[in-house]
């Protein structure tokens, strides 16, 4: 066992903010203490390129001469949202249809955070799937990169094929 392994501690907290362009963000521990640096590489090793502000997160951390840093992401849960706050895009869809939607493998075509939406393609299907920024946020993500592997639940809605849930591919494999 190395010195680093001995010093690593599991921490539960919330994402204070994360900027995929800058390549880092910070986590606030549920137990208090200094902000914890979350580097993009540590998040990528978990299979995500972004994480939503306010998302619950479980990480292992290590104290360094520069402060506390995350060394591994163990779990990410979407931010707490008001109960019964459906998205307008899904109001007209039968809840039974939504409940039957299965996770399908997909790849991001493009996503523009400033515009608030983007598209992905389910493997083996030619049609684009619309992804709204709010669906991404409710899924615990903040942004997507072209070519990123995902698992998505798709329903037919007023904008055509629409993602109602988006999960990092690696996270979906562990479900």
92 and 73 fall within a common domain: no
Number of domains into which the chain is organized: 2
43 and 112 fall within a common domain: no
Q: Which domain holds residue 19?
A: 3-77
Q: What is the CATH number of the domain that holds 24?
A: 2.40.50.140
Q: Is residue 83 part of a domain?
A: no
165 and 101 fall within a common domain: yes
Q: Give, for all 175 residues of the chain, the pLDDT tens digit.
A: 344 444 678 999 999 999 888 889 999 999 998 999 999 999 988 888 888 888 899 999 999 888 899 999 998 888 876 544 456 666 666 667 667 778 899 999 999 988 889 999 999 999 999 998 888 888 888 889 899 999 998 888 777 898 988 887 766 666 5
- pTM of the predicted model as reported, rounded to 2 decimal places: 0.66
Q: Is residue 117 part of a domain?
A: yes
3-state secondary structure the chain: CCHHHHHCEEEEEEEEEEECCCCEEEEEECCCCCCEEEEHHHHHHHCCCCCCCCCEEEEEEEEECCEEEEEEEEEEECCCCCCCCCCHHHCCCCHHHHHHCCEEEEEEEEEECCCCEEEEEECCCCCEEEEEHHHHHHCCCCCCCCCCEEEEEEEEECCEEEEEEEEEHHHHHCC
29 and 60 fall within a common domain: yes
């Amino acid at each position: 066992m190395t010195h680093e392994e001995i010093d690593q501690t599991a921490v539960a907290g919330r994402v204070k903010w994360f900027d995929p362009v800058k390549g880092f963000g910070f986590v606030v521990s549920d137990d208090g203490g200094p902000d914890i640096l979350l580097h993009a590489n540590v998040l990528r090793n978990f299979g995500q390129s972004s994480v939503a502000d306010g998302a619950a997160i479980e990480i292992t951390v290590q104290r360094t001469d520069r402060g506390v840093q995350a060394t591994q992401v163990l779990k990410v849960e979407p931010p707490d949202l008001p109960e019964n706050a459906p998205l307008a895009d899904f109001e007209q869809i039968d809840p039974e249809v939504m409940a039957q939607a299965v996770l399908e493998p997909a790849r991001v075509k493009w996503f523009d955070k400033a515009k608030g939406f983007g598209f992905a393609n389910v493997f083996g299907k030619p049609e684009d799937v619309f992804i709204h920024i709010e669906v991404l946020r409710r899924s615990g993500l903040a942004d997507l990169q072209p070519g990123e592997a995902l698992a998505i639940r798709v329903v037919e809605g007023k904008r055509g094929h629409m993602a109602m849930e988006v999960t990092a591919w690696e996270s979906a494999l562990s479900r």
